[in-house]
Structure 1
């Protein structure tokens, strides 16, 4: 199986959802085999057009199936809704491969 990575940019538009979201999302990520590699407000943009985000998150998954199972988990659904309603978020799923290697 190939490792996959979730890369998220999250800027809260409200903060009341955060205290309930973080512990539950953390448990569900772990239950699906995910591991937080970074979850931080300490970041800087080095290139490109301005793309601000309050928090950057990287999660390592053992497989694409594990990542999609987490996202589709009925237990996560209300928390996903909390995050998407309470923030501006982008979530990218990257294959752990180098398509540019020669």
Structure 2
């Protein structure tokens, strides 16, 4: 006895489309990069960048001593204007509030 079942090979499911387009998949931030993927400007660190706001690289100031807790989770919306560091540095991680209280 033969079963008659329609072929579903031609149907694209939402999951297949999402996987093909890699929706939601973003690379993890690397040292010297933020969500935009821009690296830190080496000339700015040496006070030698003449491009100012037109520079394609990030301009971070040296007084940022603590890593941004929002950037760590990929949620910081301030970018270069953030008062915290957007680099993965274990020596500059923010202190856990609960750890400091107990």
Q: Would the TM-score normalized by the shorter structure come out above 0.5?
A: no
TM-score by length of 1: 0.21
Q: Rg bigger for which structure?
A: 2
TM-score by length of 2: 0.21
The structure showing larger relative contact order (alpha-carbon pairs under 8 Å, at least 6 residues apart) is 1
